[in-house]
A and B are shown apart, each in its own frame.
Chain A
Amino acid sequence: MGRLYAIEVIYRGIFQKQLATRITRSIVLAAHEEGKLGISFGRYGDSPERNGIPAKGFAIVADDQLTLEEGMAKYEPKEVDVTIAVDDTLCKGVESWAWYGLQPVNKLLKPGGTLLVTSREQPETILQMAHRKETPYNLAILKGTVSFSGLWVYKDDHTDVRILGAIAKILPGLFTLKSVQKTIVDQWNDSVKAESAARAYERISSVAVQPDQGNPETPYKFNFPKWHEMGEGIAIPSIPAGKAIKDPTTHESGGFRPDRNPTFKKYTTRTMRPVVNFDTCIKCTLCWLQCPDSCFDVTPEGLYDANMQACCGCGVCEAVCPVKDCVTMVNETAFEDNASQWEAWRKDKKGYEAWLADKIKSRPERSHGFRYRGQYEEQVPEMLEVARKG
């Protein structure tokens, strides 16, 4: 029996689908340069993908056909050599459409495997998000701006080839840098990309992560009912109507908080979240009206508090808000919890003001999706610059 390699790419649905496919395909092609066999596939249960929902692609590579079949006999790998998170906010966990509950980003990693994350953050920030794992593993950060594009397009900011170069270093048995570069030139006929791969190969380094490091929270789990415990007729109870909110300072009730899906939270579906300046809010209702996920709770005084159970981080609220600096989208990596902003503001307005200023100032906005023609072309040079500096 030969050696079996499994690599997963965790990505944001729609925005990174093309990126993930390019990575898993190129892994197989590069390994094939050295006579190995492999398959590349996306997890079918993730389809149809939706904006930002965590999804997975896989590359399975083996020395020979029989070993490859061993790897293919499973619907998807139960353990992997390398997990690639092409968006650092995915380190908060993976709540896919393919299953129920929250899967830690490092769940499938073999002992001693490597979590490779594209990020501009330091390992400490990543480990605040990634859940603790019983066995040690390595964390490697590929410095760069997270690459988001559209369903059919890839921004071509070299994230794909840089990841391939990094894998050649992390998992040298899989393929050499030379094979990676040959695959890159064969596919895209671009020597600059081959150079980017080499640069990533040279610079990538990793830190060891011990079992006591990481987010200590217990991931949300979902227990499936047996067929005879389930209700019949493919009917599910509706979500009950909501109720009033209690003010944490006056203890008076008012406003309205809709009840939300008890089994599907959106804590990990965001790459950014809105922060709200309640002092400048003019109560125009636009964010509340336009939010596609009904994420805004109405407070007793008629303000709008983005509830992180339901927010997908789409940014519509910021776009429709007519007040400058009232709603601002901030990188999700800046947050350690999902607490109510309005409650924090009610309890300590000065403190909240400082917190808000810090979030807005210290964390760059990130964008995803296509907003106007030529947008991606504008973004690529800056992203390449970040990548070159490493």
Chain B
Amino acid sequence: MATATYVEEQRSTDKTALITGSEAIAVACKLADVDVITAYPIRPYDTVMQYICKLVANGEMDCEYIVAEGEHSQFEIVKHASACGARVFCGSSGVGWMYAMEALTVTPALRIPMVAMVGNRALDDPGAFGVEHNDALTVRDLGWQLVWVDSAQEALDTALIAYRVSEDRRIFLPCAISCDGAFLTHSQALVKVPSQEKVNEFLPRYNRADLLLHPDNPITVAPQGNEDWVMEIRRQNYAAMERSSLVLKEAYADFERIFGRSYGNPFFEEYETEDADIVLMGMGTLSTPVKVAIRQMRKEGKRVGFVRMRWFRPFAAAELAKSLGRFKAVGVIDRDYSFGSPYMSGVVATEVRTALYCAPGPKPPVLGFIAGLGGREVTVPDVEKVANSVGRAFLLVGKN
């Protein structure tokens, strides 16, 4: 399950807890000493707000905990709190995230750091609550840093990294951590909880500096601007997102140094790729059936590997294209849909093709698959079917 490899002995101060992915993020909020948290119930995100309010009620966590009257207010409140220098947390799922859309739009435009958890959920209708990635992907163009995790441990660790990167003065952009509904939000796993001292060493206080909204620093935030200004403002956000890749790398390196846990390449995880002919790609918890299927296929002599996208924004296009150039074909499994898109592909497949198209090296063909919508299980045989389809399509693998 765990993707982290241990580069040194765990320090004795770490404790092991049996918690869900949502609860792991709640624990990260406690360790990060978050100042303002807003909540509004929607499944499966509500698992995080429940755990946080328990921590607050037990006196383990000291923060403003505000239950808003809807997701739009929920995100507006933390946006303003962050502008005033507070470390903030919030989150939502599915159509709740969509209801907050206007607030989600202005948050990165105003360069407001924020960490949000998206408990990925199918958009209505029908009113399903299983996982789909379309909710978080709706903000992919707006300046949100987007990351998908596949284990409770990674959820906790990534939340700490997200605070560090979001609140870095060079970035000041919000970050949404996507956790697959049910598979991650509602499954308890053994998680190493780091000590407060290590977290304090890793995570400096949020300093809004010259952008602090405070009577001692009188500024106007978000004035009306005509067309003379908007291009420049958008260009600044491009630059911030560009810097995010660099700051993420710094943060992961520091994380490894302080916590003794390494994630390798921060942007994507590779599994059994060294000698692979074809690789499958995907985001989130489908990594588990994919890895199991790959182990089985390898026993049959099929050289199949897996690349799990972690950070979708910023998108590590050059690095990914360089890596994928080693393979003969790529099959992308999207847990999302994009009706009418090029070649009817999902969002990830389309972006992977774009990354390859502009890359200087070899460009393997990319076949897109849609699977696991609405929380449907992606089974090991499903994955084998996908791999075989890729193989057949490009005459790489046997006849089955």
- Measured CB to CB, the residues of A under 8 A from B are 45, 97-100, 224-228, 230-238
Interface SS of chain A: helix, strand, loop or mixed? loop
* Contacts A45-B226, A224-B228, A238-B218; A231 near B210 (Cβ below 8 A): yes
B318 in the interface (beta carbon within 8 A): no
Q: How far is the CB of A134 from chain B (nearest CB, A)?
A: 25
Given contacts A225-B232, A234-B222, 18 further A-B contacts (CB under 8 A): A98-B226, A227-B235, A228-B236, A228-B239, A231-B210, A232-B211, A232-B236, A233-B172, A233-B211, A234-B111, A234-B225, A234-B233, A235-B110, A235-B222, A236-B219, A236-B220, A237-B218, A237-B220
The 0/1 profile, CB within 8 Å of A marked 1, for residues 94-129 of chain B is 000000000000000111100000000000000000
- Closest 9 CB pairs between A and B? A238-B218, A227-B232, A233-B111, A227-B235, A233-B211, A235-B219, A235-B221, A236-B220, A234-B222
The 0/1 profile, CB within 8 Å of A marked 1, for residues 216-252 of chain B is 0011111101111101110110011000000000000
Q: How far is the CB of A103 from chain B (nearest CB, A)?
A: 14
Within 108-166 of B, Cβ neighbours of A (below 8 Å) are at 109-112
Q: How far is the CB of B207 from chain A (nearest CB, A)?
A: 14
Are the CB atoms of A100 and B233 closer together than 8 Å?
A: no
Looking at A45, A98, A99, A236, the one whose CB has the most chain B CB atoms below 10 A away is: A236
Q: Across the interface, which residues of B come within 8 angstroms of A237, CB to CB?
A: 218-220
In the assembled complex, the Cα of A225 lies from the Cα of B235 at a distance in Å of 13
Q: Across the interface, which residues of B come within 8 angstroms of A224, CB to CB?
A: 228
Instruction: Write 28 A-B pairs (CB below 8 A) sorted by A numbering.
Output: A98-B226, A99-B228, A225-B232, A226-B232, A227-B231, A227-B232, A227-B233, A227-B239, A230-B229, A230-B233, A230-B236, A231-B210, A232-B236, A232-B240, A233-B111, A233-B211, A234-B109, A234-B110, A234-B111, A234-B223, A234-B225, A234-B233, A235-B110, A235-B219, A235-B221, A236-B219, A237-B218, A238-B218
Q: Across the interface, which residues of A come within 8 angstroms of B221, CB to CB?
A: 233-235
* Contacts A227-B232, A227-B235, A233-B172; A238 near B219 (Cβ below 8 A): yes
In the assembled complex, the Cα of A232 lies from the Cα of B211 at a distance in Å of 8
In the assembled complex, the Cα of A236 lies from the Cα of B373 at a distance in Å of 45
Q: Across the interface, which residues of B come within 8 angstroms of A99, CB to CB?
A: 226, 228
Q: Across the interface, which residues of B come within 8 angstroms of A230, CB to CB?
A: 229, 232-233, 236
In the assembled complex, the Cα of A98 lies from the Cα of B109 at a distance in Å of 22
In the assembled complex, the Cα of A230 lies from the Cα of B218 at a distance in Å of 17
Looking at A98, A225, A227, the one whose CB has the most chain B CB atoms below 10 A away is: A227
In the assembled complex, the Cα of A231 lies from the Cα of B223 at a distance in Å of 13
Q: How far is the CB of A228 from chain B (nearest CB, A)?
A: 7
For B234, give the chain A residue with the smallest CB separation: A227
